[in-house]
Structures are given as structure tokens and as C-alpha cells.
Structure 1
């Protein structure tokens, strides 16, 4: 178990916006409708309520300062190895057994390579936030996957859609590699992508169609820390507030991405008609 005690760096962010906009605290108070007394209290305590955060970070975002995304660039330049996690309700501690059993690769602590990846998974939740972490892969057993059949079979197994094929030797080999690893590094699969995978496991599309459609996602890679040994290699850095405007922009981007995946699926069905279906693939490798 790892304690997560990082919070919003609102005091520093107030200092940034005052300097960037060349204003003083009175000007900021008037622009954000946050009282001067509250701003002074934040300067002393370093924290405040969510409604005050919304006023401040909405103001920053609407002034076209993408402060969270820029912070991502800076901490990667500072620390090198940085990952991000989106939490629906916030984090106080993390464990390897805290995720749902039907996540992509079973239990573990899931992180993504970029801030926007993490944001995309929690932008619909009112109390959500994003966290950054330093990490190391030293002395860890790693299972790596690309956008391949093995990757797709592993996700379908842990999400419970392989049915009669779950005991197949090819599937069991993939599962064993995942279950004996300290960390799994693999392409991210969100629910839209899993819809395509489900069509493959149900025999509606062949493997070539599925994989070529999934390659349109461009969500990047996820890192799943599956053991306490792996978890000891991460250190929390910062918690990021997600204002309403930023959440909405993220939702709009996800909708556009959904259309792109649908289009590629339709085109892939025309282009890769001769690929093998799940029954043919797995029956050949019993």
C-alpha cells in the first residue's frame, strides 16, 4: 500500500496566474468572484474548497492557459519517468487490489503515459481528479504487449468475454505471462475499443478487422502495477483539479475519436475480409 498525500498546488497556481496576467490579488478576486479574504487564506494554508477551485481553475482555463497539460511537460522534463492516474473520487492510498476484477489485465494499479489519457477516463465524474507519479522499472518483471492478437486475447480473458475459449492453450499462455509479471505495459483499451473486441469474441468480425480498427485509437500505453514490489517503485507528485470547461472539451474530443474508430471499423470490414475468426484461430492452436 502507498499513501497518496499530494494535493492541488493552488497556492502556486494563484501565483502563476497573477504573474502571467500581470494583475494583483484584488484584480484576481474581482475576476474570479473569490473573496480577497479567501485568497489570503489560501496563501497561508495552501488549500481550499472545491467550489473555490472551480472558480479559479475555470478562470485560468478560459484564459487559454492549459496549466495541467503544460505541467505534464515540465514534470517529464524534471523527472523523466512520469505516469498519470485518473480517479473518480480522489486517492488517499493505492494498492494492487483496488481495481475492478474485470479491468483489462485484472487487479493492479493502472496508470497512463499522459495527462490526457488519465483525464479521458474520468472526465464524466464530478468529483474526479488526475494524479501524477514518478516511477521506476528497475528490478521488475515486465510483460509487454503491442496491438496484437495476444494483447486482445488477454483483455478479453480478464474482461470475461472469451467463454469456451478461456482454457485454450494460447490464451492460458498469455494469461500466465500477465499473472506472473510485476508490471504489464500494453496499449490502452477503453470501452469503445472493447466493443470491437467483443464483436471479435462473438465471431462477428475477424481478427484482422478487429486489430486494424483498434489501431485507430491512439490512446497510448497503460502501465499496470500488479505487485507490491512494483508499487514500491512509484512516488506521487501532484493532484490536478479538473474544471468543468476542461471536462467538456475532453468529452467532445472523445466523441470525435469515437466517430474515427467507427469509420475505421467499417473500412476495415471491407479491406480485410479474408482474416481468421476466433474459432479458426483458437482451434488451430489447441
Structure 2
């Protein structure tokens, strides 16, 4: 499988130390199977930080997701577990460190709902109800450890 990373710089080598904290699944390297999603992220990053939009492809053997070599967490859909996990990581209070996490992206539409939940204007039940009706879920892969990054090969 090919995974894509959108950025404002060319990725020559993955350096987890350059990863930003408080992201959906924690501090790590994020990729998507969807090249268009990666292109949108690259444009966003270049507008935000300067530079040019760059999408870098990586080969990943997805069979590792079913092996018991790494500590892997999979979220098939929006759920209370997913929401709790994202909230903890965004608050800088991760519950558990994983090598790889796969699950939905908390994009701007979902970010708005997260802010409403945090400010108390909706409760968790309403938050999850609103997510059920959102269309176009995009999934992301998170690689959070050097052990996980070793399974990515730049193409």
C-alpha cells in the first residue's frame, strides 16, 4: 500500500522529533491512503507555515497491522473510545502510547464539534450523534515510534 504525507517541506527522512504535540493520536508522523487528502494538507501547511506544498509517498506493508509485532490501535469509525482518545491527545494527556494508530481524522468540521463539547454547549452523546451524520470520513495513519517508522519506505 502507498501512504501519503502532505507538508510544506520535502521529507527526506522521517524525524519524529520534528512532530508537533497534541495531535489527534499524539505526537508522531501522519499519513493518508488518500493522496488528495495529503495534497490538501500540504496546501494548508504551506499557507500556514510558508514553503511549497509537497506530498511524499511511502510504501507500507499493511499486513503488519494484523501482526503482533507492534502496539497498534485501530478505530474503524467515530466512537466514544475514538473521541476520548483524541481528546486526551489534544489535551497533551495521552492515555497510552501506540506504535501505529489508524482511524478517522478530526478535521475542521469535527474540530468545531470538539470545541462545542469542550465549552459545554453540547454533551458527549450529542457530539457522537452529530458525527454520525457527517459525510466523507477520511482516515489517517499515525506512526509514533521509531519501531513503527521502520516499516515505511520512501518512494
TM-score (norm 2): 0.81
Alpha-carbon offset, residue 189 of structure 1: 1.1
Among candidates 183, 193, 200, match of residue 100 of structure 2: 183
What does residue range 1-286 of structure 1 map to in structure 2 within 5 Å? 81-124=1-44, 125=46, 127-136=52-61, 137=64, 138=67, 139-145=69-75, 146-160=77-91, 175-176=95-96, 179=97, 181-215=98-132, 216-237=134-155
Q: State the distance in 2 between where 1:103 and 1:208 align.
A: 23
The offset of 1:201, in angstroms, is 2.4
Deviations 1:62-103 (A, max 9, x none): xxxxxxxxxxxxxxxxxxx12111011222221233211121
Q: Name the structure with the higher helix share.
A: 1
The CA RMSD measured in Å over matched residues stands at 2.0
Q: In 1, Cα distance between the equivalents of 2:149 and 2:142? A: 10
Does the 8 Å CA contact 1:85/1:118 hold for their aligned counterparts? yes
Query: Following the alignment from structure 1 to structure 2, what is the Cα–Cα distance between the partners of residues 106 and 89?
Result: 21
The secondary structure found in structure 1 opposite 2:103 is strand
Aligned structure 1 segments of 4 or more residues deviating by more than 6 angstroms? none
* CA deviation vs aligned residue, 1:156-197 (integer Å, no higher than 9, x gap): 222129xxxx6xxxxx7xx22xx1x21011111123311211
> Aligned residue pairs: how many?
143
SS of residue in 1 equivalent to 2:111: helix
In the alignment, the residues of structure 2 paired with residue 197 and residue 217 of structure 1 have an alpha-carbon distance, to the nearest angstrom, of 17
Distance 1:213 1:116 in 2: 25
**Equivalents in 1 of 2:21, 2:143: separation in Å?**
14
- TM-score, structure 1 normalization: 0.46
Equivalent residues of 1:89, 1:129 under 8 A apart: yes
Higher relative contact order (CA 8 A, sep 6+): 2
Which structure carries more strand by proportion?
2
Partner SS for 1:97: helix
**How many Å apart are 1:217 and its aligned residue?**
4.5
Q: Where does the alignment leave 5 or more consecutive residues of structure 1 unmatched?
A: 1-80, 167-171, 238-286
SS in structure 1 at match of 2:18 = coil
SS of the residue corresponding to residue 142 of structure 2 reads: strand
